[in-house]
């Protein structure tokens, strides 16, 4: 009997062969729904109505520490996107910022403090330049319940020692142009007008060197989202995690066969695939727990440094038991 499931995923070339039906997972039929990642994450926090879905790694850790019955999920070690939003950071031209090292003591606009891209950007600043999250003031662009941090209670119970400000609609761009903010990256509720001449890219090379330096120091590239599945489904159908894992891996390999650029790390401009392969390996999106344990460990450590969580997580307990040897 075929198991019929509901799934969601934002547009992703490495997942597309599964969503478009080219790859069929064994024993199940998934009806996929799409959308912007941030909107989907907000939906899962609100109603948790889907069986298998893409979700923010950092938000997942917060839900484990601030639990609700609604948020009872198991991680499938599939990591189909890199944390690259921070590579599109823009700085006010009068802020005196020449590199990431100059962000210490600055005011930074961010879509949401809890977002995984923010966690990894802060981890990169700490690893490369020793800048801690407490060294920067954070201005949050998402409004109302669009803010995942608000949905998870950070406005009323904020991280200790970290300065957070929830801004008004469109305020991040206005403040950045006026010099009231020193830097920001756009996403969600933080659109930035880059045509004014008052802002410039922090990383003119699109973050190539920044990512390569971080990979050399840590041995991995930062990962944005994981795949989650409802715990109740795994308890009822324990074969599901392995079948999903195999299907996602097959979809990734099919994507690589379709187009070499499907292995591109960056959101835009993956015309340097030979350089990327030399810097990050032929498959920069490895799936499985062993290949990603160091990444998950650092994400958990950074979550503590950020004040998002206080528990020193053993990340193995996040992963579906049948996939801990992958």
Average pLDDT of 171-198? 90
The answer to whether 223 and 54 are in contact (CB under 8 A) is: no
Nearest to 110 by CA among 186, 203, 224: 186
Mean predicted lDDT score pLDDT of the chain: 91
The answer to whether 75 and 228 are in contact (CB under 8 A) is: yes
CA 224 to chain centroid: 2
* Residue 87 region by backbone torsions, left for phi larger than 0, else alpha for psi between -120 and 50, else beta: alpha
Please check the confidence at residue 295 and state whether its pLDDT lies above 90. yes
The token pair that represents 68 in the structure block: 């609700």
Average pLDDT of 253-265? 96
Please check the confidence at residue 316 and state whether its pLDDT lies above 70. yes
Q: What is the pLDDT of residues 1-46, one digit of tens each?
A: 799 999 999 999 999 999 999 999 999 999 999 998 888 988 998 9
Please tell me the predicted confidence (pLDDT) of residue 189.
61
CA 32 to chain centroid: 20
8-state DSSP, 278 = H
Average pLDDT of 152-157? 59
The token pair that represents 309 in the structure block: 């969580």
Please tell me the predicted confidence (pLDDT) of residue 145.
53
Please check the confidence at residue 183 and state whether its pLDDT lies above 50. yes
Please tell me the predicted confidence (pLDDT) of residue 142.
57
The token pair that represents 10 in the structure block: 């934002």
């Amino acid at each position: 009997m075929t198991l019929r499931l509901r799934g969601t995923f934002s547009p992703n070339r490495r997942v597309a062969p599964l969503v478009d039906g080219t790859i069929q997972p064994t024993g199940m039929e998934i009806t996929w729904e799409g959308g912007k990642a941030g909107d989907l994450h907000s939906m899962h926090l609100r109603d948790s109505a889907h069986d298998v879905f893409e979700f923010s790694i950092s938000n997942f850790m917060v839900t484990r520490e601030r639990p609700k019955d609604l948020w009872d999920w198991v991680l499938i070690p599939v990591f189909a996107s890199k944390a690259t939003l921070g590579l599109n950071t823009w700085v006010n031209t009068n802020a005196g910022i020449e590199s990431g090292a100059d962000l210490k003591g600055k005011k930074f606009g961010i879509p949401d403090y809890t977002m995984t891209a923010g966690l990894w950007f802060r981890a990169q600043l700490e690893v490369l330049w020793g800048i801690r999250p407490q060294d920067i003031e954070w201005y949050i662009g998402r409004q109302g319940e669009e803010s995942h941090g608000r949905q998870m209670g950070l406005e009323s119970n904020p991280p200790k020692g970290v300065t957070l400000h929830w801004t008004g609609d469109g305020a991040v761009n206005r403040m950045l142009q006026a010099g009231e903010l020193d830097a920001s990256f756009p996403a969600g509720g933080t659109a930035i007008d880059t045509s004014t001449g008052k802002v410039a890219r922090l990383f003119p090379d699109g973050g190539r060197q920044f990512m390569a330096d971080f990979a050399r120091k840590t041995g991995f590239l930062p990962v944005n989202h994981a795949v989650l599945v409802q715990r109740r489904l795994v308890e009822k159908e324990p074969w599901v995690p392995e079948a999903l894992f195999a299907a996602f891996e097959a979809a990734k390999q099919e994507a690589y066969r379709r187009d070499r650029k499907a292995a591109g790390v960056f959101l835009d401009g993956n015309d340097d695939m030979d350089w990327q392969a030399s810097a990050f390996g032929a498959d920069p999106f490895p799936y499985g727990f062993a290949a990603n344990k160091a990444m998950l460990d650092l994400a958990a450590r950074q979550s503590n440094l950020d004040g998002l969580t206080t528990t020193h997580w053993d990340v193995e307990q996040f992963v579906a038991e049948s996939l801990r040897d992958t």
